[in-house]
Amino acid sequence: MSKVNEVFAYLHVRGAAQAIDFYKRAFGAEEVFRLTEPAGRIGHAEIRIGATILMIADEYPEFGFRGPEALGGTSVSIHLHVDNADALMKQAVEAGATVVRELADQFYGERSGTVRDPFGHEWMLGHEIEKVTPEEMQRRFAAMCV
């Protein structure tokens, strides 16, 4: 059996160049490199947010690669664990993100909220406010569901 060494999120978007620019302004991303067709479509790019590499490409409908706009939404949220979620949410909104869920203190020990980028991807922004064991999280979650 083969061992997995790393996992990378790979985002498909309509307008990859604009998305890369947005991620720089909203989340402080650094572009690592990009591969661009002569016509301008980005076939592959990599950006670094914190210590993580995120892969991005334009939509390639001919290969079944479509972004959230083409699909009518996304079923995935990317979580950015940060020092100050309030400051990052403000920065992301100023860059063009839309608030999906306002920042609030959560039962699992994090202050978090969610934004949607202009390309349809959702980003949960959060920072730790208390250490909570999995057992305590479960207890709080169960109590919340009653």
3-state secondary structure of 118: coil
pLDDT at position 109, please? Answer: 96
Q: Is the pLDDT of residue 92 over 90?
A: yes
pTM: 0.90
3-state secondary structure of 55: strand
pLDDT at position 75, please? Answer: 86
pLDDT band with cut points at 50, 70 and 90 for residue 79? very high
| Spatial separation of the C-alpha atoms in residues 68 and 122, rounded to whole Å | 10
Q: Is the pLDDT of residue 11 over 90?
A: yes
pLDDT at position 4, please? Answer: 86
| Domains and their CATH numbers in the chain | 10-144 (3.10.180.10)
| Spatial separation of the C-alpha atoms in residues 10 and 65, rounded to whole Å | 10
Mean pLDDT (the chain) is: 95
pLDDT at position 121, please? Answer: 96
| Spatial separation of the C-alpha atoms in residues 119 and 67, rounded to whole Å | 8
Q: How many CB atoms lie within 10 A of CB 108?
A: 17
Which tens digits make up the pLDDT trace of 37-65? 999 999 999 999 999 999 999 999 999 99
| Spatial separation of the C-alpha atoms in residues 66 and 16, rounded to whole Å | 12
For the chain, strand residue ranges (E) read 10-13, 30-36, 42-49, 52-58, 77-81, 98-105, 110-116, 122-128
